[in-house]
Structure 1
């Protein structure tokens, strides 16, 4: 009976949280297919330990982050990142399409580690220490990667700052 209850609770977790986890994985990877693989890996690891997990959401997200970083490390050893003038089109959200497209293209041109730090710090509203812990890096690394990533975003897409300023004027 306990096993059946665990299976039902896991199935419910997967049904309810997969979309949100897939969005985070996509932001971490910049690739829909790799994001799906990342979510599947995280959920498979959670399924094995499901009965022992106190906070399944935190566990699955931690697996997402650590697997993404592990993948980046392997990729970095294999090949260098190549910057292209126009990154491939990706699906956009429904808020402000212009801002989302600009931000998505600019994020795609950051290093993977910079992208992960920005996603954790600003999309998930994590503290510097939480981000460092989740990515298994030092606090100084998080601070410097954040600074470098934001500077790079300003260089790659100065329009983002202009669009945000316009949005703030409309809200005021």
Structure 2
């Protein structure tokens, strides 16, 4: 394949799938700026390996796997602990008043509080709709690990949304 044809194919793919990749990255890291950095790193790796990526059956799965591995790798380096980015300002006062917006913010905060591997397992299983086996493949771990990480993550999310006093015998 000619280099220009390969570049055009890569550019067409990234242009079409960029919003989806950014949403997945945001769900993983809970920061739009960092999500952009993750996607940029993942897309660079995808470009370097485009010949191999172009030969796979599920290109979206391949790109998602690269993205999740970039995220998990970054978590191990500690970069995310050294660099703090201020949160985005609210979009508008009007949209901040809606219940859906509040619920979304609560869910994002609860998701952000999960440890990275639990967050990755929950995002891959429920946002990306992957099976336990597919998630294990993406995360380079056993299916049992995926099940336990997912169960722990869901339990933490449930606790975050329980009304106060439920476990203290209050009604």
Mark yes or no: TM-score above 0.5: yes
- TM bin, normalised by shorter chain, reads 0.7 to 0.9
CA drift at 1:21: 0.4
Q: What is the alpha-carbon distance in structure 2 between the residues aligned to residue 89 and residue 11 of structure 1? A: 29
Which residue of structure 2 aligns with residue 49 of structure 1?
49
**Structure 1: runs of 5 or more not aligned:** 80-87, 160-172
Structure 1 residue 14: deviation in Å?
Answer: 1.6
SS in 2 for 1:158: coil
TM-score (normalizing by structure 2): 0.77
Q: Secondary structure at the match of 1:19?
A: helix
Report the equivalent of 1:6: 6
- C-alpha distance in structure 2 between counterparts of 1:42 and 1:126, whole Å: 19
User: Quick one: distance in 2 between partners of 1:139 and 1:158?
Assistant: 28
Report runs of 4+ in structure 1 exceeding 4 Å deviation. Answer: 88-95
Give the structure-1-normalised TM-score: 0.77
Query: Per-residue deviation at 1:49?
Result: 2.2
Query: In structure 1, how many angstroms separate the alpha carbons of the residues matched to 2:30 and 2:18?
Result: 17
Distance in 1 separating the partners of 2:90 and 2:29: 14
Correspondence 1:2-151 to 2 at 5 A: 2-53=2-53, 54-55=55-56, 56-75=59-78, 96-151=100-155
What RMSD in Å do the two structures reach over aligned CA positions? Answer: 2.8
Aligned residue pairs, count:
151
Distance 1:90 1:153, change over 3 A: farther
Aligned to 2:169: none
Aligned mates of 1:42, 1:114 — CA distance in 2: 20
